[in-house]
Amino acid sequence: MTQHVVVMGVAGCGKSTVGALLAADLRSGFLDADSLHPEANVAKMTAGIPLDDTDRAPWLAAVAAAFVGGESLVVACSALKRAYRDLIRTGAPDVVFVHLVGTPALLAERIGARPGHFMPPALLDSQLATLEPLEGDEAGVVLDIQLPLGRLVSLIRERLRLERPTPINGDRNSHAL
């Protein structure tokens, strides 16, 4: 069964960490969408300049394209607006979203603790202002980032009814988190 998941939210919410853990648990591929940003986007963010929709368009098209091909994939991507998620769905209409949420203070603390990341804490406010929560017709779940990582992965699997693949060669421990 092919499963497409986007772990979304503003900077500092743990998209990459939770996404990588979920992908390992589901034995699927993992992609951090930050790796798809054009150099111009990274330069803008590094300079503390928020991206606009024109900046994000080629990046979101690349995220959508990553889902094409039929393999299960978990992607860490901010997906802040409904329009961005709609564009991602052009690559995978069956994609489900995991929106990780936390208080602005906790998010700022986490961003400040990430050495060497191009996203400065100063851009958090612009991301929070841009954020459009999942709407009722969007497949997904909203979870609090204060939960332990293992619990977050379990809740994602349970609430979205994601399936672990059948163990290979009888390896019953192959799905341990």
pLDDT digits (tens, 9 = 90+) for 142-163: 999 999 999 999 999 999 999 8
Per-residue confidence (pLDDT) for residue 46, from 0 to 100: 80
Find the mean pLDDT for residues 28-51.
89
Query: What one-character DSSP code corresponds to residue 50?
Result: P
Residue ranges of domains in the chain, CATH in brackets: 4-160 (3.40.50.300)
Q: How far is residue 126's CA from residue 43's CA, in Å, rounded to a whole number?
A: 17
Using the structure block, give the residue that is written with the tokens 């997904």. Answer: 140
Q: Are 19 and 32 in contact (CB under 8 A)?
A: yes
Q: Provide the whole-model pTM.
A: 0.87
Q: What share of the chain is helix, strand, coil (3-state, %, to 5)?
A: 45, 15, 40
Residues with Cβ within 8 Å of 46's Cβ and at least 6 positions away in sequence, in order, are 118, 120
Q: Are 121 and 148 in contact (CB under 8 A)?
A: no
Whether 87 shows a pLDDT value over 80: the answer reads yes
Which residues sit opposite 8 in a β-bridge? 99
Of 44-48, 70-74, 170-174, minimum mean pLDDT range = 170-174
Structure tokens at 27: 């034995």
Strands lying side by side in the sheet with 29-32 = 29-32, 73-76, 4-8, 96-101, 140-144
